[in-house]
Amino acid sequence: MLRVSPANRKTPAGGTKPSESPLIDKPMSFGEDGPMSFSELLSALHRHGASVPDIVVAALVLMLAAGLALLAHHFAMRTVNRLVAPERAFLKSLIGATNTLSRFALVIIAVAVVLPGVPLGVGAQEIVAHILFVALIVLLGWSATIAITLATDLYLWRSEVAGRSDAMARKHVTQVRVLRRVTATLVIVLTVAAALMTFDSVKQYGVSLIASAGAAGIIVGLALRPLLTNLFAGIQIAITQPIRIGDAVIVENEWGWIEEITGTYVVIKLWDWRRLVVPLSYFLERPFQNWTRQTTDLIGTVMLWVDYTVPVAPIRARLEQIVKETTLWDGQVVNLQVTDSNDRAVQLRALVSARTSPEAWDLRCEVREKLIEFLQHSYPGALPKQRAELVEFGRHQAAAGA
């Protein structure tokens, strides 16, 4: 049994009298006399260590509470990870995604529990309590963003569209990801606004701004115009779907694929692996080409200029043979036509179809190469010629004089 004996102090006359402190005269024990409360224990320790400042004792106690919370969280997460089977991949990812969040929440709870018992003044306790309240608001916003992310990931996982490349799958992935980023942006803005409104100075400024919603409102609206424009553009793109993730597009005379759609911009992966970053509002305000809007199938063209003496039928037969020998052709379109002519040559246009835009490009290159090789071997004089008639100058003069 642990007991704190009464402290005797000398009076000014030299005598002694017992301490009038109820915390010291009261026995502190763990056993038959009953447990001492946490606040009484702190007061007793502080009385015996009177040379230690209150702020140091309070800091040590709060740090101890946070440390115990972190330790408890560590052991709890180890236990949970051991109980969850390795094949539960989604549950494992859920635990990993909420690990930091649960740690932060446990620390806030532990500090809030011990705060009333620490030796701090009213003003200091109010400051710490305000910090905890702001941390709670941040925790709620953080929880909301994680919940949105997990819900969308679960939807994509259950609908089995994340790994598919067809148009319907890309439509779902685009809608879910764009709406997720827009919603997460709104949650972050509301969280920051709620945290700032807990400060009296910011609250008064906000009230005065609303009260004088004239020029100040116009200024704020102009300052937030780019953010709001891209925010509403993201919502409109998610609904109307002018572009989707994986679409082949031509933007600013650059050809590439839509790689990522965020809440404010779009990342386009160009054919040479460069990245073109374009604001979301661009796709609502300016024209662009989308090669895979309805379907990924494309028709590629190959243009050849040849001499008038070259027969068209053998070239057409060779074109059909080329596409049947390659795996890039989808078996739908193959054709050869004479599309133009001038005083020197004729233009041949070969049409071939493929399943995707990259395959269409590769098929065009292969067809062009093999047709040129065929003309070189079968018709060496197939290149356009410049025709001219040579006349002897002297004979021409004699004929003119006669």
Instruction: Give per-residue pLDDT as tens, 182-235.
Output: 888 888 888 888 888 888 777 666 555 555 555 555 665 666 677 777 778 878
What average pLDDT does the segment 3-19 reach? 43
CA-wise closest residue to 43 among 30, 31, 61: 61
Q: What is the pLDDT of residues 42-65, one digit of tens each?
A: 566 556 555 567 777 778 888 888
> What pLDDT is stored for residue 318 in this prediction?
94
Query: Rounded CA gap, 229 and 343, in Å?
Result: 55
Q: Mean pLDDT across the stretch 63-78?
A: 87
Q: For position 73, what pLDDT does the model report?
A: 85
Q: What is the DSSP letter of 86?
A: T
pTM: 0.54
Q: What pLDDT score does 33 carry?
A: 54
Separate counts of helices (H) and strands (E) for the chain: 14, 10
> Which two tokens mark 70?
């972190």
The residue among 119 and 306 whose pLDDT is bigger is 306
Q: Is the pLDDT of residue 74 over 60?
A: yes
Q: Average pLDDT, whole number, for the chain?
A: 78
Q: Lowest mean pLDDT of 27-41, 76-90, 314-328, name the range.
A: 27-41
Helix, strand or coil, per DSSP, at residue 212: coil
pLDDT at 27: 43
Residue 160 has pLDDT above 80, yes or no: no
Residue 303 — pLDDT band, cuts 50, 70, 90? very high
Say if residue 32's pLDDT is above 80: no
Q: Which token pair is 74?
A: 């560590």
Which pLDDT belongs to residue 39?
Answer: 60
Query: What's at 27, amino acid-wise?
Result: P
The DSSP secondary-structure symbol of 180 reads H
DSSP state letter for 7: P
Q: Which residues contact 392 (CB under 8 A, 6 or more apart)?
A: none
Domains assigned to the chain: 8-51 (no CATH), 243-290 (2.30.30.60), 298-382 (3.30.70.100)
SS3 112: helix
pLDDT of amino acid 284: 86
CA gap 218, 216 in Å, rounded: 5
Q: Are strands 298-306 and 248-251 parallel, antiparallel or unpaired?
A: unpaired
Of the two residues 312 and 97, the one the predictor is more confident about is 312
Mean pLDDT (whole number) for 34-47: 59
pLDDT for position 38: 55
334-387 pLDDT, tens digit each: 999 999 998 889 999 999 999 888 899 899 999 999 999 999 899 888 877 776
pLDDT score of 302: 94
For position 23, what pLDDT does the model report? 39
pLDDT, tens digit, for every residue of 312-325? 999 999 999 999 99
pLDDT of residue 208: 59
Q: What is the pLDDT of residues 219-233, one digit of tens each?
A: 656 666 777 777 788
Distance CA 159, CA 170 (A): 12
**Tell me, what's the pLDDT at 398?**
61
As a whole-number percent, the residues of the chain with pLDDT over 90 amount to: 19
Choose among 300, 291, 294: nearest CA to 362: 300
Residue with tokens 């839509």: 258
> Considering only 16-20, 85-89, 118-122, 129-133, which range has the smallest mean pLDDT?
16-20
Confidence at residue 397, expressed as pLDDT on a 0 to 100 scale: 62
pLDDT at 392: 65
